[in-house]
Amino acid sequence: MRDRPRLLYLITEDWYFWSHRLDLARAARDAGYDVIVATRVTDHGERIRAEGFQLESLEMVRRSRNPFREAVAVVELARLYRRVRPDVVHHVAMKPILYGSVAAWLTRVPAVINAFAGLGYTFMDGRNRLLRWGMKTALRTVLSLGHSVVLVQNHDDQDRLVGEGVALASRTRIIAGSGIDVAVYALQPQPSGVPIVVLPARMLWDKGVGEFVEAARRLKRKGLHARFILVGRRDEHNPAAISEIRLKEWMQEGVVEWWGHREDMPAVYAEATLVVLPSYREGLPKVLLEAAACGRAMVATDVPGCREIVRDRFNGLLVSPKDSVALAAAIEELLSDREAREIMGQRSRTRVVAEWSGPRITEQVLALYQDMVKVSAIDRSHGYA
Protein backbone atom coordinates (compact mmCIF):
# COMPACT_ATOMS: atom_id res chain seq x y z
CA MET A 1 0.00 0.00 0.00
CA ARG A 2 1.29 3.49 -0.85
CA ASP A 3 2.38 5.86 1.86
CA ARG A 4 1.77 8.97 -0.27
CA PRO A 5 -1.08 9.43 -2.75
CA ARG A 6 -0.07 10.35 -6.30
CA LEU A 7 -1.54 13.52 -7.77
CA LEU A 8 -1.02 14.18 -11.48
CA TYR A 9 -1.60 17.54 -13.16
CA LEU A 10 -2.26 17.43 -16.91
CA ILE A 11 -1.73 20.89 -18.42
CA THR A 12 -0.87 21.70 -22.03
CA GLU A 13 1.97 24.17 -21.38
CA ASP A 14 4.63 24.29 -18.67
CA TRP A 15 4.45 28.06 -18.49
CA TYR A 16 0.73 27.87 -17.66
CA PHE A 17 1.40 25.40 -14.86
CA TRP A 18 4.12 27.69 -13.50
CA SER A 19 1.94 30.81 -13.56
CA HIS A 20 -1.41 29.31 -12.50
CA ARG A 21 -0.92 26.06 -10.56
CA LEU A 22 2.53 26.22 -8.97
CA ASP A 23 1.40 27.40 -5.54
CA LEU A 24 -1.36 24.79 -5.44
CA ALA A 25 1.08 22.03 -6.40
CA ARG A 26 3.48 23.17 -3.70
CA ALA A 27 0.69 23.03 -1.13
CA ALA A 28 -0.27 19.53 -2.28
CA ARG A 29 3.35 18.40 -2.04
CA ASP A 30 3.62 19.83 1.47
CA ALA A 31 0.33 18.12 2.40
CA GLY A 32 1.83 14.72 1.57
CA TYR A 33 1.16 14.14 -2.14
CA ASP A 34 3.64 12.90 -4.70
CA VAL A 35 3.08 15.50 -7.42
CA ILE A 36 3.50 14.64 -11.10
CA VAL A 37 3.27 17.32 -13.80
CA ALA A 38 2.50 16.18 -17.35
CA THR A 39 2.89 19.01 -19.85
CA ARG A 40 4.63 20.25 -22.97
CA VAL A 41 8.04 21.35 -21.73
CA THR A 42 9.46 24.55 -23.18
CA ASP A 43 10.79 27.06 -20.64
CA HIS A 44 10.18 25.77 -17.13
CA GLY A 45 11.28 22.14 -17.03
CA GLU A 46 14.25 22.57 -14.73
CA ARG A 47 12.33 24.83 -12.36
CA ILE A 48 9.49 22.31 -12.12
CA ARG A 49 11.92 19.50 -11.32
CA ALA A 50 13.69 21.69 -8.77
CA GLU A 51 10.41 21.89 -6.85
CA GLY A 52 10.61 18.14 -6.31
CA PHE A 53 7.83 17.36 -8.80
CA GLN A 54 8.05 14.46 -11.22
CA LEU A 55 7.96 15.96 -14.72
CA GLU A 56 6.51 14.05 -17.68
CA SER A 57 7.10 15.72 -21.05
CA LEU A 58 4.23 15.57 -23.54
CA GLU A 59 3.62 16.79 -27.09
CA MET A 60 -0.08 17.66 -26.88
CA VAL A 61 -0.38 20.71 -29.14
CA ARG A 62 -3.55 22.72 -28.47
CA ARG A 63 -4.07 23.93 -32.02
CA SER A 64 -3.66 20.56 -33.74
CA ARG A 65 -6.64 19.35 -35.79
CA ASN A 66 -4.90 16.28 -37.25
CA PRO A 67 -7.03 13.23 -36.30
CA PHE A 68 -4.03 10.87 -36.31
CA ARG A 69 -2.02 13.19 -34.08
CA GLU A 70 -4.96 13.56 -31.71
CA ALA A 71 -5.39 9.80 -31.45
CA VAL A 72 -1.69 9.44 -30.74
CA ALA A 73 -2.05 12.01 -27.93
CA VAL A 74 -4.75 9.93 -26.25
CA VAL A 75 -2.60 6.79 -26.54
CA GLU A 76 0.38 8.70 -25.10
CA LEU A 77 -1.70 9.77 -22.11
CA ALA A 78 -3.09 6.27 -21.56
CA ARG A 79 0.44 4.88 -21.47
CA LEU A 80 1.46 7.56 -19.01
CA TYR A 81 -1.50 6.93 -16.71
CA ARG A 82 -0.94 3.17 -16.83
CA ARG A 83 2.73 3.62 -15.93
CA VAL A 84 2.34 6.31 -13.25
CA ARG A 85 -0.89 4.98 -11.69
CA PRO A 86 -2.10 8.28 -10.21
CA ASP A 87 -4.67 8.25 -7.44
CA VAL A 88 -6.07 11.56 -8.65
CA VAL A 89 -5.60 13.37 -11.96
CA HIS A 90 -6.31 17.08 -12.25
CA HIS A 91 -6.99 18.04 -15.88
CA VAL A 92 -6.76 21.77 -16.60
CA ALA A 93 -8.50 23.30 -19.68
CA MET A 94 -10.27 21.86 -22.68
CA LYS A 95 -7.90 19.49 -24.45
CA PRO A 96 -6.56 17.88 -21.25
CA ILE A 97 -10.17 17.39 -20.13
CA LEU A 98 -11.19 15.72 -23.39
CA TYR A 99 -8.15 13.52 -23.94
CA GLY A 100 -7.21 12.99 -20.32
CA SER A 101 -10.70 11.81 -19.40
CA VAL A 102 -10.62 9.14 -22.12
CA ALA A 103 -7.14 8.03 -21.06
CA ALA A 104 -8.20 7.94 -17.41
CA TRP A 105 -11.26 5.82 -18.25
CA LEU A 106 -9.19 3.39 -20.35
CA THR A 107 -6.66 2.91 -17.55
CA ARG A 108 -9.16 2.93 -14.69
CA VAL A 109 -7.81 5.99 -12.89
CA PRO A 110 -10.12 6.09 -9.88
CA ALA A 111 -10.59 9.85 -9.41
CA VAL A 112 -10.59 12.67 -11.98
CA ILE A 113 -10.93 16.44 -11.59
CA ASN A 114 -11.80 18.27 -14.82
CA ALA A 115 -11.04 21.95 -14.28
CA PHE A 116 -12.34 24.51 -16.78
CA ALA A 117 -10.26 27.68 -16.98
CA GLY A 118 -13.25 29.36 -18.61
CA LEU A 119 -15.34 27.79 -21.36
CA GLY A 120 -12.96 28.78 -24.09
CA TYR A 121 -12.93 29.62 -27.75
CA THR A 122 -15.54 27.16 -29.03
CA PHE A 123 -18.19 28.12 -26.46
CA MET A 124 -18.26 31.78 -27.40
CA ASP A 125 -21.39 33.00 -29.13
CA GLY A 126 -20.95 33.39 -32.87
CA ARG A 127 -18.54 30.47 -33.30
CA ASN A 128 -19.22 27.66 -35.76
CA ARG A 129 -22.43 25.95 -34.64
CA LEU A 130 -21.35 22.51 -35.81
CA LEU A 131 -18.07 22.86 -33.95
CA ARG A 132 -19.87 23.93 -30.78
CA TRP A 133 -22.31 21.02 -31.06
CA GLY A 134 -19.44 18.59 -31.54
CA MET A 135 -17.53 20.02 -28.58
CA LYS A 136 -20.55 19.86 -26.28
CA THR A 137 -21.29 16.29 -27.33
CA ALA A 138 -17.71 15.23 -26.70
CA LEU A 139 -17.63 16.97 -23.34
CA ARG A 140 -20.97 15.49 -22.28
CA THR A 141 -19.53 12.05 -23.01
CA VAL A 142 -16.17 12.38 -21.27
CA LEU A 143 -17.53 14.22 -18.23
CA SER A 144 -19.79 11.27 -17.51
CA LEU A 145 -16.94 8.76 -17.43
CA GLY A 146 -15.82 7.17 -14.18
CA HIS A 147 -15.68 9.03 -10.89
CA SER A 148 -15.07 12.61 -11.97
CA VAL A 149 -15.78 16.10 -10.74
CA VAL A 150 -16.16 19.19 -12.92
CA LEU A 151 -14.44 22.23 -11.45
CA VAL A 152 -15.42 25.72 -12.66
CA GLN A 153 -14.39 29.17 -11.49
CA ASN A 154 -17.66 31.09 -11.66
CA HIS A 155 -21.42 30.59 -11.47
CA ASP A 156 -21.98 31.62 -15.11
CA ASP A 157 -19.89 28.71 -16.38
CA GLN A 158 -21.58 26.27 -14.02
CA ASP A 159 -25.02 27.44 -15.11
CA ARG A 160 -24.14 27.10 -18.78
CA LEU A 161 -22.58 23.64 -18.51
CA VAL A 162 -25.46 22.32 -16.43
CA GLY A 163 -28.18 24.22 -18.32
CA GLU A 164 -27.01 22.90 -21.70
CA GLY A 165 -26.76 19.35 -20.41
CA VAL A 166 -22.98 19.13 -20.70
CA ALA A 167 -22.39 18.38 -17.01
CA LEU A 168 -24.51 17.16 -14.14
CA ALA A 169 -25.11 19.61 -11.31
CA SER A 170 -24.22 16.87 -8.82
CA ARG A 171 -20.77 16.56 -10.38
CA THR A 172 -19.85 20.25 -10.50
CA ARG A 173 -17.98 22.35 -7.95
CA ILE A 174 -17.10 26.04 -7.92
CA ILE A 175 -13.70 27.09 -6.62
CA ALA A 176 -12.66 30.61 -7.56
CA GLY A 177 -9.37 30.20 -9.37
CA SER A 178 -6.02 29.20 -7.89
CA GLY A 179 -5.57 32.02 -5.37
CA ILE A 180 -3.28 35.03 -5.13
CA ASP A 181 -0.22 35.51 -2.94
CA VAL A 182 -1.22 38.84 -1.40
CA ALA A 183 2.28 39.31 0.03
CA VAL A 184 3.91 39.12 -3.41
CA TYR A 185 1.11 41.15 -5.01
CA ALA A 186 1.19 43.84 -2.35
CA LEU A 187 -0.68 47.12 -2.16
CA GLN A 188 1.11 49.72 -4.31
CA PRO A 189 0.85 53.52 -4.16
CA GLN A 190 -0.61 55.34 -7.13
CA PRO A 191 2.18 56.12 -9.63
CA SER A 192 2.89 59.67 -10.76
CA GLY A 193 3.88 61.02 -14.13
CA VAL A 194 2.44 60.10 -17.52
CA PRO A 195 -0.49 57.71 -17.01
CA ILE A 196 0.20 54.09 -17.98
CA VAL A 197 -2.73 51.91 -19.03
CA VAL A 198 -1.87 48.20 -19.02
CA LEU A 199 -3.60 45.25 -20.65
CA PRO A 200 -1.96 42.12 -19.16
CA ALA A 201 -2.93 39.00 -21.13
CA ARG A 202 -1.83 36.59 -23.78
CA MET A 203 -1.89 38.28 -27.16
CA LEU A 204 -5.22 36.88 -28.34
CA TRP A 205 -8.03 38.59 -30.20
CA ASP A 206 -10.59 37.26 -27.73
CA LYS A 207 -8.77 38.97 -24.85
CA GLY A 208 -10.04 42.21 -26.43
CA VAL A 209 -6.60 43.31 -27.58
CA GLY A 210 -7.98 44.73 -30.83
CA GLU A 211 -10.58 46.80 -28.96
CA PHE A 212 -7.89 48.03 -26.55
CA VAL A 213 -5.74 49.19 -29.47
CA GLU A 214 -8.68 50.95 -31.09
CA ALA A 215 -9.59 52.62 -27.77
CA ALA A 216 -6.01 53.81 -27.39
CA ARG A 217 -6.08 55.14 -30.94
CA ARG A 218 -9.29 57.08 -30.27
CA LEU A 219 -7.99 58.59 -27.04
CA LYS A 220 -4.69 59.66 -28.59
CA ARG A 221 -6.56 61.32 -31.43
CA LYS A 222 -8.46 63.32 -28.78
CA GLY A 223 -5.14 64.47 -27.35
CA LEU A 224 -5.09 62.29 -24.24
CA HIS A 225 -1.51 62.00 -23.00
CA ALA A 226 -1.00 58.42 -21.81
CA ARG A 227 0.94 55.27 -22.60
CA PHE A 228 -0.96 52.13 -23.56
CA ILE A 229 0.90 48.92 -22.81
CA LEU A 230 0.29 45.32 -23.87
CA VAL A 231 1.97 42.85 -21.51
CA GLY A 232 1.92 39.16 -22.34
CA ARG A 233 3.30 36.42 -24.51
CA ARG A 234 2.17 35.42 -27.94
CA ASP A 235 0.35 32.08 -27.88
CA GLU A 236 0.82 30.67 -31.36
CA HIS A 237 -1.03 27.43 -30.57
CA ASN A 238 -4.27 29.29 -29.81
CA PRO A 239 -6.68 29.82 -32.74
CA ALA A 240 -7.19 33.44 -31.63
CA ALA A 241 -3.47 34.29 -31.62
CA ILE A 242 -2.44 37.74 -32.86
CA SER A 243 0.45 37.67 -35.28
CA GLU A 244 3.78 39.20 -34.36
CA ILE A 245 3.57 41.24 -37.57
CA ARG A 246 0.35 42.87 -36.37
CA LEU A 247 1.82 43.64 -32.96
CA LYS A 248 4.84 45.28 -34.58
CA GLU A 249 2.59 47.31 -36.87
CA TRP A 250 0.75 48.70 -33.85
CA MET A 251 4.03 49.62 -32.19
CA GLN A 252 5.34 51.28 -35.34
CA GLU A 253 2.10 53.27 -35.51
CA GLY A 254 2.85 54.46 -31.97
CA VAL A 255 -0.56 53.57 -30.60
CA VAL A 256 0.62 50.93 -28.09
CA GLU A 257 3.77 49.40 -26.66
CA TRP A 258 4.21 45.64 -26.38
CA TRP A 259 6.40 44.55 -23.49
CA GLY A 260 6.01 40.84 -24.18
CA HIS A 261 6.02 38.29 -21.39
CA ARG A 262 7.13 39.61 -18.01
CA GLU A 263 8.13 37.56 -14.97
CA ASP A 264 8.00 40.61 -12.70
CA MET A 265 4.28 41.36 -12.82
CA PRO A 266 4.13 43.07 -9.40
CA ALA A 267 6.56 45.65 -10.81
CA VAL A 268 4.37 46.07 -13.89
CA TYR A 269 1.29 46.73 -11.75
CA ALA A 270 3.30 49.20 -9.66
CA GLU A 271 3.85 51.27 -12.83
CA ALA A 272 0.23 50.96 -13.99
CA THR A 273 -2.20 53.80 -13.45
CA LEU A 274 -5.05 51.61 -14.67
CA VAL A 275 -5.40 47.93 -15.60
CA VAL A 276 -7.71 46.92 -18.43
CA LEU A 277 -9.02 43.54 -19.59
CA PRO A 278 -11.66 43.77 -22.36
CA SER A 279 -11.93 39.98 -22.74
CA TYR A 280 -14.86 38.26 -24.46
CA ARG A 281 -15.14 35.57 -21.75
CA GLU A 282 -13.05 34.33 -18.83
CA GLY A 283 -13.04 31.74 -16.08
CA LEU A 284 -11.59 33.89 -13.33
CA PRO A 285 -8.82 36.07 -14.80
CA LYS A 286 -5.73 35.86 -12.64
CA VAL A 287 -4.39 39.14 -14.01
CA LEU A 288 -7.38 41.04 -12.63
CA LEU A 289 -6.90 39.39 -9.23
CA GLU A 290 -3.22 40.35 -9.29
CA ALA A 291 -4.02 43.93 -10.28
CA ALA A 292 -6.71 44.14 -7.61
CA ALA A 293 -4.31 42.82 -4.96
CA CYS A 294 -1.90 45.60 -5.92
CA GLY A 295 -4.65 48.17 -5.36
CA ARG A 296 -5.42 49.06 -8.94
CA ALA A 297 -8.69 50.32 -10.35
CA MET A 298 -9.73 48.27 -13.37
CA VAL A 299 -11.76 48.45 -16.56
CA ALA A 300 -13.13 45.13 -17.75
CA THR A 301 -15.93 43.73 -19.85
CA ASP A 302 -19.26 42.69 -18.37
CA VAL A 303 -18.74 38.99 -19.14
CA PRO A 304 -18.39 35.80 -17.07
CA GLY A 305 -15.21 35.81 -15.02
CA CYS A 306 -14.45 39.52 -15.29
CA ARG A 307 -17.62 40.59 -13.53
CA GLU A 308 -16.82 38.19 -10.69
CA ILE A 309 -13.88 40.45 -9.81
CA VAL A 310 -14.86 43.91 -11.05
CA ARG A 311 -18.04 45.42 -9.64
CA ASP A 312 -19.15 48.34 -11.74
CA ARG A 313 -18.39 51.67 -10.08
CA PHE A 314 -17.23 49.91 -6.92
CA ASN A 315 -13.70 48.81 -7.74
CA GLY A 316 -13.68 49.55 -11.46
CA LEU A 317 -15.85 50.01 -14.52
CA LEU A 318 -17.56 47.38 -16.65
CA VAL A 319 -18.25 47.88 -20.36
CA SER A 320 -19.86 45.77 -23.07
CA PRO A 321 -17.54 43.38 -24.89
CA LYS A 322 -16.29 44.26 -28.38
CA ASP A 323 -17.11 47.95 -27.85
CA SER A 324 -14.00 50.08 -28.27
CA VAL A 325 -15.97 53.33 -27.92
CA ALA A 326 -17.31 52.40 -24.48
CA LEU A 327 -13.89 51.08 -23.52
CA ALA A 328 -12.22 54.36 -24.47
CA ALA A 329 -14.82 56.34 -22.49
CA ALA A 330 -14.28 54.22 -19.37
CA ILE A 331 -10.50 54.55 -19.58
CA GLU A 332 -10.76 58.31 -20.05
CA GLU A 333 -13.16 58.63 -17.10
CA LEU A 334 -10.87 56.86 -14.66
CA LEU A 335 -7.69 58.51 -15.89
CA SER A 336 -9.31 61.87 -15.18
CA ASP A 337 -10.26 61.00 -11.57
CA ARG A 338 -7.33 60.08 -9.32
CA GLU A 339 -9.49 60.03 -6.19
CA ALA A 340 -11.91 57.51 -7.71
CA ARG A 341 -8.97 55.30 -8.78
CA GLU A 342 -7.53 55.33 -5.26
CA ILE A 343 -10.85 54.42 -3.63
CA MET A 344 -11.49 51.68 -6.19
CA GLY A 345 -7.97 50.35 -5.74
CA GLN A 346 -8.38 50.10 -1.97
CA ARG A 347 -11.67 48.26 -2.43
CA SER A 348 -10.02 45.90 -4.91
CA ARG A 349 -7.30 45.00 -2.43
CA THR A 350 -9.81 44.38 0.35
CA ARG A 351 -11.86 42.03 -1.83
CA VAL A 352 -8.88 39.95 -2.91
CA VAL A 353 -7.60 39.51 0.64
CA ALA A 354 -11.07 38.49 1.84
CA GLU A 355 -12.12 36.23 -1.05
CA TRP A 356 -9.19 35.08 -3.20
CA SER A 357 -6.04 34.87 -1.11
CA GLY A 358 -3.89 31.83 -1.83
CA PRO A 359 -4.41 29.94 1.47
CA ARG A 360 -8.20 30.33 1.26
CA ILE A 361 -8.41 28.85 -2.26
CA THR A 362 -5.75 26.21 -1.61
CA GLU A 363 -7.66 24.93 1.41
CA GLN A 364 -10.74 24.36 -0.74
CA VAL A 365 -8.83 22.48 -3.45
CA LEU A 366 -6.90 20.33 -0.97
CA ALA A 367 -10.20 19.36 0.65
CA LEU A 368 -11.44 18.26 -2.79
CA TYR A 369 -8.24 16.24 -3.32
CA GLN A 370 -8.76 14.55 0.03
CA ASP A 371 -12.30 13.55 -0.93
CA MET A 372 -11.05 12.16 -4.23
CA VAL A 373 -8.23 10.22 -2.56
CA LYS A 374 -10.80 8.43 -0.42
CA VAL A 375 -12.38 7.18 -3.64
CA SER A 376 -8.94 6.09 -4.87
CA ALA A 377 -8.37 4.13 -1.67
CA ILE A 378 -11.60 2.22 -2.21
CA ASP A 379 -10.60 1.42 -5.81
CA ARG A 380 -7.14 0.31 -4.73
CA SER A 381 -8.76 -2.16 -2.35
CA HIS A 382 -10.52 -3.61 -5.40
CA GLY A 383 -7.30 -4.10 -7.33
CA TYR A 384 -6.63 -0.80 -9.13
CA ALA A 385 -2.98 -0.55 -7.98
Query: 23 and 172: one domain?
Result: yes
Beta bridge partners of 90: 9, 113
70 in helix, strand or coil?
helix
Query: 222 and 328: one domain?
Result: yes
CA dihedral 299, 301, 306, 309 (to 10 degrees): 40
In a domain, 80, yes or no: yes
Q: What CATH number is given to the structural domain containing 140?
A: 3.40.50.2000
- What mean pLDDT do residues 218-223 have? 96
Lowest mean pLDDT among 107-116, 134-143, 278-287, 306-315: 134-143
In a domain, 190, yes or no: no
In a domain, 65, yes or no: yes
Q: Name the domain count of the chain.
A: 2
> Given a cut of 70, is residue 68 above it in pLDDT?
no
The fraction of the chain above a pLDDT of 90, given in percent, is 77
Q: What is the CA radius of gyration of the chain?
A: 21
Amino acid 215: pLDDT: 98
User: In the chain, which ranges are continuous DSSP H helix?
Assistant: 14-20, 22-30, 45-50, 67-84, 94-106, 129-142, 155-163, 209-221, 244-253, 265-271, 286-293, 306-309, 324-335, 338-355, 358-381
Cα atoms in the 13 Å half-sphere on the side-chain side of 24: 30
Q: Which domain holds residue 281?
A: 196-355
Query: pTM of whole model > 0.75?
Result: yes
Question: Angle between the 209-221 and 324-335 helix axes, to the nearest 10 degrees?
Answer: 60
Query: 153 and 98: one domain?
Result: yes
pLDDT band of residue 10 (cuts 50, 70, 90) is very high
Max Cα distance, the chain (Å): 72
